[in-house]
């Protein structure tokens, strides 16, 4: 049972990061190399709030951090990304530059030493085979709730229908009156907010520093490519596949080696199934499919 819960906690956090990236990559075909910094921003927001208002301010940060992430995401899209929609290589370079700038800015503001943050829940909960930290169960619950909410919005609302229309055929969506630029901005802000929320949730379990979000970036890209670019269900399935395999392997070999093995296997799977496990409809997917 403990192994299953460990898998669930890692998969849920990976899914939150990947969902935000999947929206941006699948809908806008933007390779946002600064996405990892939004995870870091969420963690530092928690650190700043707790330093100001105390340990129990975690609940405030849980709401405040996604708002900060969304606001900064709006600024990035409004002042940089929107001018580069037709220049994917320039977008790649621009977001990489933003990533480096944000890392150095965080170091200048908070220093280079890791910061400590505190979980709002102490103790453990009895489970079959032993006990499990209460905070990790809380993380699983929140992440599952947010993921389910995203799925419902994407599949059961008018807004989600418009999102899917833009992913499948942006020019046709514009032709029927959908404001694709406005929708792109909302999607970018939503993806940024999800990453920052993931940063708040993961922060009490790790050391908070300016590079803490970087390991999630490559894995999130592998998740959405393996699952299917432009597919929310594919991103969730990709998170389950990669998160489960990596967690199980970590019990047998060094975690770094486990991560390398899982990513290598993912590359092999993508080579023979470039459209992903659950194919999406983005332009990036179509290019991969032709390859």
The pLDDT tens digits for 108-135 are 999 889 888 998 888 888 888 788 999 9
Radius of gyration for the alpha carbons in the chain, expressed in angstroms and rounded: 19
Tell me: pLDDT of 200 over 90.
Answer: yes
pLDDT digits (tens, 9 = 90+) for 223-256: 888 887 767 778 888 888 888 888 888 888 887 7
Distance of CA 260 to CAs 7, 199, 239, 250, 276, Å? 17, 23, 16, 11, 20
Tell me: pLDDT of 283 over 50.
Answer: no
Cα separation of 201 and 216, whole Å? Answer: 14
Please name which of 68, 114, 103 lies closest in space to residue 208, comparing C-alpha atoms: 114
Distance of CA 253 to CAs 3, 171, 220, 243, 259, Å? 15, 49, 22, 15, 10
Q: What is the pLDDT of residue 260?
A: 82
Q: What is the pLDDT of residue 282?
A: 47
**How far, in whole angstroms, is CA 233 from its chain's centroid?**
14
Where are the chain's structural domains?
A: 2-212
pLDDT digits (tens, 9 = 90+) for 25-71: 766 777 888 999 999 999 999 999 998 888 888 999 999 999 999 99
Cα separation of 155 and 142, whole Å? Answer: 20
- Which position has the token pair 């967690």? 247
pTM above 0.95, yes or no: no
Question: What is the DSSP track for 98-125?
Answer: HHHHHHHHHHHHH-SS-B----S--SEE
95 contacts: CB under 8 Å, gap ≥ 6 = 30, 31, 32, 33, 34, 35, 76, 80, 81
Cα separation of 29 and 222, whole Å? Answer: 15
Q: What is the pLDDT of residue 21?
A: 82
Q: What is the pLDDT of residue 65?
A: 94
**Which tokens hold the place of 73?**
């995401």
Instruction: Say which residue, 244 or 263, is predicted with more confidence.
Output: 244
Strand partners, 131: 126
Tell me: pLDDT of 206 over 60.
Answer: yes
* Dihedral of the alpha carbons of 10, 15, 17, 21, in degrees to the nearest 10: 150
Tell me: pLDDT of 215 over 70.
Answer: yes
Three-class secondary structure assignment of 160-228? HHHHHHHHHCHHHHHHCCCCHHHHHHHHHHHHHHHHHHHHHHHHHHCCECCCCCHHHHHHHHHHHHHHC
Tell me: pLDDT of 221 over 50.
Answer: yes
Q: What is the pLDDT of residue 136?
A: 92
Please name which of 66, 45, 46 lies closest in space to residue 118, comparing C-alpha atoms: 46
Q: For 56, which DSSP code?
A: G
Q: What is the pLDDT of residue 230?
A: 66
């Amino acid at each position: 049972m403990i192994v299953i819960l460990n898998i669930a906690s890692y998969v849920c956090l990976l899914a939150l990061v990947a969902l935000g990236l999947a929206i941006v990559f699948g809908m806008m075909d933007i390779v946002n190399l600064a996405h990892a910094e939004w995870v870091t921003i969420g963690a530092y927001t928690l650190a700043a709030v707790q330093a100001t208002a105390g340990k129990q301010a975690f609940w405030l940060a849980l709401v405040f951090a996604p708002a900060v992430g969304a606001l900064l995401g709006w600024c990035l899209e409004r002042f940089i990304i929107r001018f580069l929609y037709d220049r994917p290589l320039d977008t790649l370079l621009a977001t990489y530059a933003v990533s480096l700038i944000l890392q150095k800015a965080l170091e200048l503001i908070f220093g280079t030493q890791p910061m400590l943050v505190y979980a709002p829940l102490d103790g453990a909960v009895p489970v079959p085979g032993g006990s499990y930290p209460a905070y990790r169960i809380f993380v699983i619950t929140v992440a599952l709730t947010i993921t389910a909410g995203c799925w419902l919005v994407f599949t059961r609302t008018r807004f989600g229908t418009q999102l899917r229309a833009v992913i499948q055929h942006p020019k046709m969506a514009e032709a029927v009156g959908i404001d694709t630029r406005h929708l792109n901005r909302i999607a970018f802000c939503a993806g940024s907010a999800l990453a920052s929320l993931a940063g708040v949730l993961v922060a009490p379990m790790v050391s908070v520093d300016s590079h803490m979000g970087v390991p999630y970036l490559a894995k999130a890209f592998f998740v959405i490519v393996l699952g299917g670019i432009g597919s929310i269900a594919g991103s969730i399935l990709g998170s389950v596949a990669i998160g489960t395999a990596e967690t199980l392997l970590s019990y047998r070999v060094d975690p770094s080696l486990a991560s390398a093995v899982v990513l290598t296997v993912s590359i092999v799977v993508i080579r023979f199934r470039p459209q992903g496990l659950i194919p999406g409809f983005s332009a990036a997917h179509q290019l991969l499919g032709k390859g």
